[in-house]
Structure 1
């Protein structure tokens, strides 16, 4: 097998390991605390701000905004969560997902083998009632072990002469935005894209100024999960997923306009390039969430009218 093909499969294999580790971790956490998570979402979403805080917190724990947005749509469909509460949770989920970029930027990924070892031993030899928690720890470590592998697989790419031919495309913010959105929609995880963006910066493959557009695009691509989940539900759920997409698109417009001076200041600091990207990701998502939460009370009567169209049972 040629060197290039080996490199491609090494990167893809590491990404697949990351995706499956992330999915398994989210599944374990949701299973272990599933009903408690659902109860928390139901009880703690009485105001927009609390709903967003719950969405951010649950996403930070589960490490998947896609899983949380899909859960919110499903709970709204079943009537366990108000539609406004579900929207607030989805707005907050974007903030919670920024944790992945920070963990990668601060090199917490290096602890992956430790968590894999401890979790594996715990799930095999621990007290039987507690072994399922060991599985969660194992899969959490697997996420960051995969990130280590991705970083190692990407290292030779930075020295590949063929990369120079792609630099013009890699340095285009618009193409980076579209690529981030498409890649996120494909892998169904903005955490993958934000983690890859930070790793690409650490290897010198892309500049921080371009990586931030990748993570901005991920915010649009991550809405595809709620859109897909809503196709199997009713019209209200589909409208809710569309609203989530609309808010995320408005957030990216905010990123591309009013936030640019702030982003330029962050990228001009003496912080490590990876931490610059993580900070921009956090500031962007926080600003977008705050703007959405400030606007939501003013426009909700109009949105409620649209949601109620052809429906009389909307809470």
Structure 2
């Protein structure tokens, strides 16, 4: 077989191997992802439990990168100390060797069985988890199939002299061999794939045993690069765990490289098969690193904290600024603090409304995500205000203060509902518009723009009612609600007129237009609701809008 054809064939089978591993990992994550994360978080009392948790989770998931990202998020979020987080990575590194050990045995007969069972489970499975496990079985079958095809491709009789010369040049220096394997592993995002490929090449005699072990070292080194690169550009604390893990691997590779010839002799005595030698060295290397570093982890943690000190965190927009816990026993001050925090909610709701109009006009995808984050801010502030007011001593409240507390709660609830409508409804509609590349008619967009402008005016008016208890503004706000209802009715009628005229823009966007108008009306109702407590208190509301039935 010509060298070019061999290389192309190898690349195709390597891609099949990577895809099989991806299917296994994604299937397990979908089936048990949340449970694995909980299991990992429960094993963080000390470094030894953390090591066991990292090993168990990664043995199932077969992705030290995914486990490392979980550990980094735990450590950066201060849910766990840095030492157990680093211990998780030691366990994860050993856990990745499990599937390599399993696949190093001759289990090729399982290939058709796994694929058949997986397809049946994926296609016929009534439950989501059954389908996910079917995906895992298909992935394992593809891994076994790709290994078989790789072995068949790299059989010695298929190797041309040119390929022998190229491989000899690439694998003659253990350091170069290790670095090449590290680059391949970094690009593939899977140390398992590299080690399995090394086992196939070693079994076929394409590479020497020393070169095979050097490539195994490179696979371990390359897999430690991905978490570091993914953590870069964000919080510096997230680099502590992946950089600590990378440092472990670097030290281990530096120690192991000069000892590779002796390791080959020892491993061949244990089991002389080239593939088994590579698999056993992969396991032995990670076990040795775990034994070497499990005790000095506190020193490594201290070094990582010095290299990546805690950065000053920017102000969280969802963090309350005015909810002084010491003022809980003073209802007057506490209610004022809560009202000030409610104004921050109103500012966030106003930014969301302005942003939603901009999204409909410009189709800015980035702004859609920003508005969703603003809704998170609203939810956080609302929860903080609610908990704060719950702690205010009701026994010390007079009637006026009790009324004020109810007004603050009602105002914040309505603001939170406004944020939900903008985020879950309007932004969903905006995303559909962007995805489908739709455009409103000029008249339709002008109607939406006008309704947005009225809502922003009414929101400012509602803030005046909330802060000053202004009866005149409250009456105006309710009157404006009636006018907004007429505006919504007029916009709907004009839209149907454009439909009857056969306007293409209106026909394409009819569902979006009507849903937007409906949601804007719902927002108006929540804004106007600010006036009701004051009007009801002053007796300025009718009990019902219904007229008495005539006999």
TM-score by length of 1: 0.89
Q: Is 153-162 or 182-191 further displaced after alignment? A: 153-162
Q: CA deviation at 1:136?
A: 2.1
Question: Could you tell me how far apart the structure 1 residues matched to 2:193 and 2:64 are?
Answer: 11
Question: Could you tell me how far apart the structure 2 residues matched to 1:132 and 1:100 are?
Answer: 19
1:29 aligns to what?
28
Question: Could you tell me how far apart the structure 2 residues matched to 1:105 and 1:132 are?
Answer: 25
1:169 aligns with 2:170: yes
1:265 aligns to what?
266
2:97 aligns to what?
98
2:115 aligns to what?
116
Q: Which one has more relative contact order, counting CA pairs under 8 Å at least 6 apart? A: 1
1:245 aligns with 2:246: yes
In the alignment, is the contact (CA less than 8 A) between 1:158 and 1:205 conserved in 2? no
2:527 aligns to what?
none
In the alignment, is the contact (CA less than 8 A) between 1:181 and 1:222 conserved in 2? yes
Question: Could you tell me how far apart the structure 2 residues matched to 1:82 and 1:120 are?
Answer: 43
In the alignment, is the contact (CA less than 8 A) between 1:25 and 1:136 conserved in 2? yes
1:151 aligns to what?
151
Question: Could you tell me how far apart the structure 2 residues matched to 1:9 and 1:260 are?
Answer: 32
In the alignment, is the contact (CA less than 8 A) between 1:188 and 1:224 conserved in 2? no
In the alignment, is the contact (CA less than 8 A) between 1:58 and 1:68 conserved in 2? yes
Query: CA RMSD of the aligned region, Å?
Result: 2.5
- Cα gap change, 1:300 to 1:193, in 2 (>3 Å): same
Question: Could you tell me how far apart the structure 2 residues matched to 1:111 and 1:28 are?
Answer: 19
- Cα gap change, 1:232 to 1:36, in 2 (>3 Å): farther
Report runs of 4+ in structure 1 exceeding 6 Å deviation.
Answer: none
Question: Could you tell me how far apart the structure 2 residues matched to 1:45 and 1:64 are?
Answer: 19
Q: CA deviation at 1:297?
A: 3.1
1:284 aligns to what?
285
1:56 aligns to what?
55
Question: Could you tell me how far apart the structure 2 residues matched to 1:11 and 1:176 are?
Answer: 18
Q: CA deviation at 1:164?
A: 2.8
In the alignment, is the contact (CA less than 8 A) between 1:231 and 1:238 conserved in 2? yes
Tell me how many residue pairs correspond in the alignment: 312
Flag the structure with larger Rg: 2
Q: CA deviation at 1:258?
A: 6.4
Question: Could you tell me how far apart the structure 2 residues matched to 1:33 and 1:301 are?
Answer: 34
TM-score by length of 2: 0.53
1:228 aligns to what?
229
- Cα gap change, 1:78 to 1:107, in 2 (>3 Å): farther
Q: CA deviation at 1:183?
A: 1.0
Question: Could you tell me how far apart the structure 2 residues matched to 1:296 and 1:26 are?
Answer: 29
Deviations, residues 153-198 of structure 1 (Å, cap 9, x unaligned):
3236753221332324323212211111111111111111101111
Question: Could you tell me how far apart the structure 2 residues matched to 1:208 and 1:104 are?
Answer: 19
Matches within 5 A, 1:48-87: 48-87=47-86
1:189 aligns to what?
190
Matches within 5 A, 1:134-145: 134-145=134-145
Question: Could you tell me how far apart the structure 1 residues matched to 2:163 and 2:260 are?
Answer: 30
Question: Could you tell me how far apart the structure 2 residues matched to 1:4 and 1:28 are?
Answer: 36
2:387 aligns to what?
none
- Cα gap change, 1:110 to 1:294, in 2 (>3 Å): farther
Q: Is 165-174 or 85-94 further displaced after alignment? A: 165-174
List alignment gaps of at least 5 residues for structure 2. 314-551
Question: Could you tell me how far apart the structure 2 residues matched to 1:209 and 1:8 are?
Answer: 23
Question: Could you tell me how far apart the structure 2 residues matched to 1:204 and 1:137 are?
Answer: 30
Q: CA deviation at 1:29?
A: 0.8
1:212 aligns with 2:216: no
In the alignment, is the contact (CA less than 8 A) between 1:22 and 1:140 conserved in 2? yes
Q: CA deviation at 1:234?
A: 0.8
List alignment gaps of at least 5 residues for structure 1. none
Question: Could you tell me how far apart the structure 2 residues matched to 1:158 and 1:197 are?
Answer: 17
Question: Could you tell me how far apart the structure 2 residues matched to 1:293 and 1:218 are?
Answer: 21
Q: CA deviation at 1:301?
A: 3.9
